[in-house]
């Protein structure tokens, strides 16, 4: 039996939000921690894992720049997406009360997102490399006056108490993940499913190339929900684009739009077509038909 088929890789320590996303999206698979994003992605490319859970952007912190540079360097495909609401928890050693705490450690972004509540409780923030690592360190050091901000999964894995749930100052903080695989797994086109198609391309060196490349989506009722640019090389001469469009490559309108995009661009690569996550139906992420 190929054990790789049952493994989903992620970056971070056990208990990280990426780990929690693996549990929510694919509870039937074993989640394996990797030190770096590239380690997780190349684990899939080598056939040692079936999937990788990779964060692309966060509603508060913005896009994960490194991922846009890494994805073109692999031969992986996007086979799904996952949106994970971030629920920061104030953690402490078993039996410790909030009144006993003096300091709290976590990733700088998590500390910033909980700054108001930390000040209310008079707790001194201490920056650390990551959230789950802070929870793990709390357990190993055994300091009753020290707490951590991490996920509920980290509390479960390291045997810590959750003193306060939803400890972040504002709700709505969400991370968008891509689920990557070695094979494309192009889904069958069905009328009752909304699909997202992700494309990578570089425009040709002609006037108004990007305008012309994307014009096909405008004239063929295409709904572009993401357009990101990034430098494709160290020379800073070639700009590449990451494009998310609502639709399936077999849709008649999409076929016309892709033909136009291909003419005015180079290196066009369909990274994947996958069902739109239900989270997209909320708020500003509503997809128009």
**What is the rounded CA–CA span in Å between residue 241 and residue 227?**
7
Query: What number of helices (H) and strands (E) belong to the chain?
Result: 9, 15
Closest among 226, 176, 175, 173 to 196, alpha carbons compared: 226
Per the CB < 8 A criterion, the answer to whether 274 and 187 are in contact is yes
Helices (H), the chain: 17-25, 37-45, 65-70, 108-113, 115-121, 131-141, 152-158, 209-219, 252-264
Choosing from 177, 195, 241, 264, the catalytic residue is: 177
Tokens of 275: 């069902």
Q: Which residues contact 139 (CB under 8 A, 6 or more apart)?
A: 93, 158, 159, 160
Contacts of 26 (CB under 8 A, 6+ apart): 8, 51, 179
Catalytic residue status for 175: yes
CA distance 29 to 34: 15
177 among known catalytic residues? yes
> Which residues, including other chains, have CB under 8 Å from residue 121's CB and lie 6 or more apart?
98, 101
Q: Which of 83, 131, 167, 175 is catalytic?
A: 175
How many residues are listed for the chain in this entry? 289
Which residues are the active-site residues?
175, 177
């Amino acid at each position: 039996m190929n054990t790789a088929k049952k493994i989903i890789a992620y970056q971070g320590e056990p208990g990280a939000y990426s780990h929690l996303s693996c549990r929510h999206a694919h509870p039937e698979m074993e989640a394996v921690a990797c030190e770096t994003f590239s380690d997780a992605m190349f684990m899939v490319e080598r056939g040692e894992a079936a999937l990788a859970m990779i964060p692309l952007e966060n509603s508060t912190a913005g896009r994960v720049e490194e991922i846009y540079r890494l994805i073109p360097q692999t031969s992986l495909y996007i086979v799904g997406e996952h949106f994970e609401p971030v629920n920061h928890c104030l953690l402490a050693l078993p039996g410790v009360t909030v009144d006993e705490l003096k300091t709290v450690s976590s990733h700088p972004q998590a500390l910033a997102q909980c700054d108001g509540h930390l000040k209310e409780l008079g707790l001194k923030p201490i920056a650390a490399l990551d959230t789950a690592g802070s929870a793990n360190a709390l357990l190993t050091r055994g300091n009753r006056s020290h707490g951590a901000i991490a996920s509920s999964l980290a509390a479960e894995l390291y045997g810590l108490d959750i003193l306060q749930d939803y400890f972040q100052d504002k709700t709505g903080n969400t991370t968008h993940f891509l689920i990557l695989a070695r094979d494309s797994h192009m889904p069958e086109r069905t009328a009752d499913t909304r699909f997202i198609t992700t494309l990578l391309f570089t425009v040709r060196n002609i006037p108004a190339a990007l305008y012309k490349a994307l014009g096909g989506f405008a004239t063929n009722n295409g709904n572009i929900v993401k357009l990101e640019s990034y430098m494709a090389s160290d020379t800073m001469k070639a700009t590449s684009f990451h494009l998310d469009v609502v639709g399936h490559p077999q849709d008649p309108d999409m076929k016309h739009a892709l033909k136009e995009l291909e003419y005015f661009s180079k290196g066009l690569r369909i990274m994947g077509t996958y069902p739109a996550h239900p989270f997209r139906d909320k708020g500003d992420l509503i997809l128009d038909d």
